[in-house]
């Protein structure tokens, strides 16, 4: 697994050896960051279900100012911390070692995020539940974007309160959904 563009381009990252865990493919990652390329510079990013940190670290590589990672699994946290050290971005990240829903319940209102990345474990089909929760919380900037990676079979609504689906792309059994606020 590598960073595909930006200041850490080509940097190898640690990943899982487990065949049941599927990191975000380079093609999917490229699509995500092409879509948000004009919003990434200087952005504060929230990476939910961060896993190895691949998406958040790609955001830092491409110019994001800061990333807040939320991950609860010890094996993922270990790899996430190793990857942060590899790219030497310890001063540009926070790691929240907790369940995503617990994190969202706390409403971390001290932060306003520009970009929210949601990549839950596919087998749990949590994307819709996370969007339902996020839609009720006031912690994103008005111009913020949410990007969800889910299975193509998971139901993602066209809108969640002020958040509206702007685009959707399929990659085999994966689906990317891009949301922005309508004010």
Ranges under pLDDT 50 in the chain: 20
CB-count burial class (<10 Å; 0-12, 13-18, 19+) for 86: middle
Q: Residue 39's pLDDT is what? A: 93
Strand duo 159-160 + 163-171: pairing: antiparallel
pTM score: 0.92
The answer to whether residues 75 and 121 touch, using CB atoms and an 8 Å cutoff, is no
CA distance 50 to 68: 9
- DSSP output for 90-134: GGGEEEE-S-HHHHHHTT-TT--EEEEEE---GGG--HHHHHHHH
Buried b (16+ CB within 10 A) or exposed e, 16-47: eeeeeeebbeeebbebbbebbeebbeebbbbb
Interval 59-93: pLDDT, tens: 999 999 999 999 999 999 999 999 999 999 999 99
**pLDDT tens figures, 128-139:** 999 999 988 887
pLDDT at 94: 96
Read off the tokens for 85: 């050290």
Q: For residue 157, what pLDDT is reported? A: 94
Q: Are 45 and 114 in contact (CB under 8 A)?
A: yes
Which domains are seen in the chain, by residue range? Answer: 29-181 (3.40.50.150)
């Amino acid at each position: 697994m590598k960073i595909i563009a930006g200041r850490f381009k080509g940097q190898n990252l640690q990943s899982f050896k487990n065949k049941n865990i599927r990191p975000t493919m380079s093609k999917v990652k490229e699509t995500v960051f092409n879509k948000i390329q004009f919003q990434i510079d200087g952005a504060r990013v929230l990476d939910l279900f961060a896993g190895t940190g691949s998406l958040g670290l790609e955001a830092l590589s491409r110019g994001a100012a800061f990333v807040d990672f939320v991950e609860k699994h010890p094996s993922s946290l270990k790899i996430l911390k190793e990857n942060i050290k590899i790219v030497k971005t310890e001063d540009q990240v926070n790691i929240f070692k907790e369940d995503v829903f617990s994190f969202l319940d706390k409403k971390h209102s001290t932060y306003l995020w520009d970009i929210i990345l949601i990549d839950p474990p596919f087998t749990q089909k949590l994307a819709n539940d996370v969007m339902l929760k996020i839609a009720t919380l006031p912690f994103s900037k008005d111009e913020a974007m949410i990007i969800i990676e889910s299975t193509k079979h998971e139901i993602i609504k066209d809108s969640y309160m002020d958040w509206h689906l702007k685009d959707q792309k399929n990659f085999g059994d994966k689906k990317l959904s891009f949301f922005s606020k309508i004010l």
